Structures are given as structure tokens and as C-alpha cells.
Amino acid sequence: MRTVYLVAMREFLENAATKGFWIGILLFPLMILASLYATRFLEKATPTRQFVLVDQSGELEKVIVEGLEREHQGQVLEALIGYSQKHSKILQASVADIDLEKMPAEGIEEHVKRLLESNPEVLDGFIAKSGLQPALDELKPLLKDDAPAFEEPRRRFVRVDLPAGVRADQDVDDLVKELRSYLKGDSSLEHEGRKVELFAAILIPKDVLAHVQRPGLKSLLANLQRQGIQYWASNLADKDLKSSVERVVNDEIRRREFLGQKLDIDKVRAVQATRVPFASLNPKKAEGKEEVSIADVIRQWAPVGFVYLLWIAIFTISQMLLNNTIEEKSNRIIEVLLSSITPGELMMGKLAGIAAVGLTVTGSWILSLVLILKLRAGPESQFAVRLFEVLQTSNLLPAFCVYFLLGYLLYAGIFLAIGSVCNTLKEAQNMMGPVMMILIVPLFTMMFIPKDPNGTLATVLTWIPLYTPFIMMNRAAADPPWFDMIGSLILLVLFTAFVLWMSGRIFRIGILRTGQPPKLLELLRWIKA
């Protein structure tokens, strides 16, 4: 055992001294920090979209402009609500009392959005009071003294004038010909004294109202022709502007239809805002506490994150073991080591040493996550800390440790056997193809298993030992049957021991072998020998 320990320490210290080891430790917390600020960064990184609007009918221009402005003011109001929650004196004092077990599953942001959608008069009142500055003045006494200045969300869409020499009253087809070079990015136009790129052109013909579609097959077939409003843009991925304009225009068309039917618009809006509340209840919870909370949602979906972390950890550490084995074999270091110890001791020492590396890296990831959640200022930190407390009170962390260890030994044995029979990374990569095909399956099923954790797919994959660590980790929060839990764990332990035994037989012969990698029949002979 002392020999195995010495080999393990050598493997650990040798890998701990590499740049890749420290990069792997530091990269994860950096990714966590980046994800915390990703939304704000992406919002700033997305450029403002400039568009031209030509309404030859004179019916919809004002509606579109006012609609886009209303949409922007709605975003300002949502941001202001979030700002007041983050920096409020009152809310700050009560954040520590948040109990995720009692908070409804619907998040605050979703609640705010639904509130504004169901109660348009809230946004109407905000706009009627001249918007942002009066609201900030009212909020100021309720904010902390060190609260930063509120940053108004950047406008996503800005209307610009037509390029010089382009007339709005000409035929739509001719108008498109003159705008095509601007839409393709070959030409730029002037806006407020600077050059900007034209993102889109919204062209409304004179007879646009003649093409309003009403229920019926004939109206549906007319949509296949280029009629009505034309939206020109070369960027097919960003459809936000098109969706916003389409929503605003269709709301106006429906409003006119209501008026044509002599219906009271206010009553129609009241009917549209009418809803029946839905309560999500879980029959597995104690009587009187059946309502689904944020904590329940966390428990349901947290295993997905653990599965991904498990996959990354196992693949990275096993790949490290493979590379080390091939490098030492090609450099003849293996021959020196085997002059003093047996192949079995060398193999077990390598497995233990690289396992220690993996546990160190994974442990540092989890520790950095805890520290980031605890040290981050603001209500979000308290919320995140309680989120972690929810995970601690569940069986996810113990399950992660068990399945990480067994999954590592299983795949490390396979990788070690491959490394022992290959002389170069190129040869190893060719043999790694089938293993990678196996490892891809847990990623493909990662999002489907939580939706049906005790279904046929989850049950079948549970009893395939190569997938058991990932699938059972994904099912951990769904209380799978004890037969599946205990039975699959016993099968996984036995299969892992069998794989390590076979790897040992292959490693014993293959580690000193040179030349071409052995064929499958030759490997079988080694195992039987």
C-alpha cells in the first residue's frame, strides 16, 4: 500500500504543478462570476437597432411609434422595480427572513411582467406622470444612502430618417431598390451627426387596411402573397423589432375591429385581463404544505446542473489520466517505474492520484461557488445562500460524491486501458470514438429526465452501468424507487470492479507494448490470459 501511496502522491503533485490544473480551478469561479453579470453584459453588447418607417397609408405610423415608446417605458418600469427592490432600506432589512420553502414558485420578475400585462393602467400611470424622474424622486427617501444612480435601459430600437434623396411617396418596389444597399450594409446613413447602419425597413403601402385578415381559408391563403406590411432585414436571427411592430399593429387593428362592432374598449380589456389563478400543488408534501415553492423548483432542476458538473469532472479527469499514461509510456518513464513496482501497484497509484486531483478540482469548484454566493453583496446573495441551503438539506451533494467516485473509477479504468495500449494521442483518439459516443447520451437526455424521472427512458438508462451515475444523479430529486436506487448502485459497483479488473489485465501487458495498438481479439486474449 505504501508503494501505491507513493505513486498516487507523485501523480497528484505532478499534475498539481501544471498550468492546466490551476487554470481548471480558477476558470470555474470566473465562469460563475461571468454568468452572474452575463445578462447585463449581453444587454449592453447588443447594439441599438436603427430602422426606417414609411407609412404611405397614414394610418399606422403614429401607432407604431407610440407602441415602441410604450414598450421601452415598460422596460424602464421593470428595471426601476428591480432597482428599488435591490437598494430599498425596507426590503434589505427583510431579505434575511426570506424562506424559499414558503415563496411561490413564480419568481418576482415573472410576477412583475404578468402584473404589467394584466394591468396596463400601471404603465399608463407611469407614462402619464412623465415617466422616470418623478418616480425616482418618490423612491429616493426609501433607498439606501449609498444606492448607486439608476441606469435607464438602453433603447433597443431607434427610428431614423430616410437617406437623402430617397422619397417616401414613391412606389414600394422602387423604395426597396433604393434602400437595398443600406439594408445589406454596403452603405450607411446619417443620424444625429454620425454614421449608422440600417437594420430594417418597415414599409406600409397605401392599401394596407384592405389586406386585414379575418377568419377564413381565403384570408389565410392571401398571406402567402407579399401583401400588407413589408419588413425588410438581412438579419434573420434577431426578430425582436418585427415581433414588437407586429404586436403593436395587430393590437391597433383589433381595437378598430372592436370599435367597428360598437364594443366598449375598456370592457374588452377588462375581459381580456380576467383570469383564474392556478395553484401548483405537490401531493408528496405534507398536508397543509402542498403548495409548490421556489425551493421545490430548485430541487427539481438542480440535478441537471449537477449532472453537467459530473460529466465535465469525469471527462476532464479521465482525459488527464489518459494523457499522462501515454506521455509516460512514450517517454519510457513507465519502464523505469515498473523496475521497482508491479503493474497493479502502478495502475492503482495512478487511479488514486488522479482521483485526488479530480476531488481537489471539484471541491474547489463547489467551495468557490459557496464563497461567491456568500460574499456577493445585495439581496441576491441572501437569496443565493438560501438556495445553497436548500441543496444542503437535500440528498444531492452526497449523491454527487458517490456517483462522482464510481463514475470516475468506471471511466478512468476504460481510459487507462486505452492509454496503456496506445503510443500516441492520435492512436488514442481513434479508440476514444466509441467511448465519446457513449458519453454524449447523458448530455442529450439531461433536460428530458427531470420531466419524466421515473419513466421508461430514465428507468432503462438507469440499469445501464455506463449511464447509471448520470441518470441516477438526474433522478435524485424525484425520489426514485428504492429498487432502482439500491439495485442500480450494486450493479454499478460490480460493473466498475469488473471494468477495473479487465483494465488491470490489459494494463499489465499493454503498458510495455510498442508498435500498433492491438486488435479487439488480441485484447480478449490478454483478458483471458
Residue spans per domain, the chain = 2-33+293-528, 49-272
Q: What is the mean pLDDT of residues 36-44?
A: 62
Quick check: 373 and 37 in contact, CB under 8 A?
no
pLDDT digits (tens, 9 = 90+) for 215-264: 764 555 555 556 788 999 988 888 889 999 999 999 898 888 888 888 88
Q: What is the mean pLDDT of residues 473-483?
A: 82
Least confident of 30-44, 447-461, 478-492: 30-44
What is the structure's pLDDT at 266? 76
What is the structure's pLDDT at 378? 47
Quick check: 112 and 132 in contact, CB under 8 A?
no
Spatial separation of the C-alpha atoms in residues 229 and 244, rounded to whole Å: 13
What is the structure's pLDDT at 212? 81
Quick check: 103 and 155 in contact, CB under 8 A?
no
pLDDT digits (tens, 9 = 90+) for 273-318: 777 777 777 776 777 776 766 666 666 677 777 787 778 877 777 7
Percent of the chain past pLDDT 70, that is, above it, reads: 78
Amino acid letter for position 374: K
pLDDT digits (tens, 9 = 90+) for 100-115: 555 555 555 555 556 6
Q: Which residue has the higher pLDDT, 413 or 491?
A: 491
Beta strands 157-159; 49-55: pairing state: parallel
pLDDT winner (highest mean) among 168-182, 270-284, 396-410, 430-444 = 168-182
- Give Cα separations from 386 to 29, 86, 286, 380 (angstroms): 19, 17, 21, 10
pLDDT digits (tens, 9 = 90+) for 338-351: 777 787 777 788 78
Q: State the average pLDDT for the chain.
A: 77
Local confidence band at 95 (pLDDT 50, 70, 90 cut-offs): very low
Per-residue b or e along 242-254, where b marks 16 or more CB atoms closer than 10 Å to that residue's CB: eebbeebbeebbe
Local confidence band at 122 (pLDDT 50, 70, 90 cut-offs): low
Asked if the model's pLDDT at residue 15 lies above 60, the reply is: yes
What is the structure's pLDDT at 114? 60
Q: What is the mean pLDDT of residues 468-490?
A: 86
Local confidence band at 202 (pLDDT 50, 70, 90 cut-offs): very high
What is the structure's pLDDT at 36? 64
Angle at the Cα of 55 from the Cα atoms of 49 and 56, rounded to 5 degrees? 150
Per-residue b or e along 488-516, where b marks 16 or more CB atoms closer than 10 Å to that residue's CB: bbeebeebbeebbebbbbbbbbbbebeee
What is the structure's pLDDT at 489? 92
Largest Cα separation within the chain, whole Å, is 98
Which residues, at least 6 apart from 159, have a Cβ–Cβ distance to it below 8 Å? 50, 51, 52, 53, 65, 68
Instruction: Name the 3-class secondary structure at 463.
Output: coil
| Sign of torsion over alpha carbons 250, 256, 259, 265 | positive
Instruction: Name the 3-class secondary structure at 340.
Output: coil
Asked if the model's pLDDT at residue 57 lies above 80, the reply is: yes
Local confidence band at 405 (pLDDT 50, 70, 90 cut-offs): confident
Percent of the chain past pLDDT 90, that is, above it, reads: 11
What is the structure's pLDDT at 42? 61
What is the structure's pLDDT at 93? 45
* Model confidence, pTM: 0.64
What is the structure's pLDDT at 115? 60
Instruction: Name the 3-class secondary structure at 200.
Output: strand
pLDDT digits (tens, 9 = 90+) for 372-391: 766 654 445 555 555 666 66
Asked if the model's pLDDT at residue 37 lies above 70, the reply is: no
- Which three-class secondary structure string do you get for 283-312? CCCCCCCCECEHHHHHHHHHHHHHHHHHHH
Asked if the model's pLDDT at residue 478 lies above 90, the reply is: no
The Cβ of residue 105 has, within 10 Å, a number of other Cβ atoms equal to 17
Least confident of 62-76, 478-492, 498-512: 498-512
Asked if the model's pLDDT at residue 371 lies above 80, the reply is: no
pLDDT winner (highest mean) among 74-83, 448-457, 482-491 = 482-491
Count CA within 13 A, CB hemisphere, residue 60. 30
Spatial separation of the C-alpha atoms in residues 38 and 44, rounded to whole Å: 10
pLDDT winner (highest mean) among 37-41, 309-313, 438-442, 485-489 = 485-489
Q: What are phi and psi of 270, to 5 degrees?
A: -65, -40
Spatial separation of the C-alpha atoms in residues 166 and 178, rounded to whole Å: 7
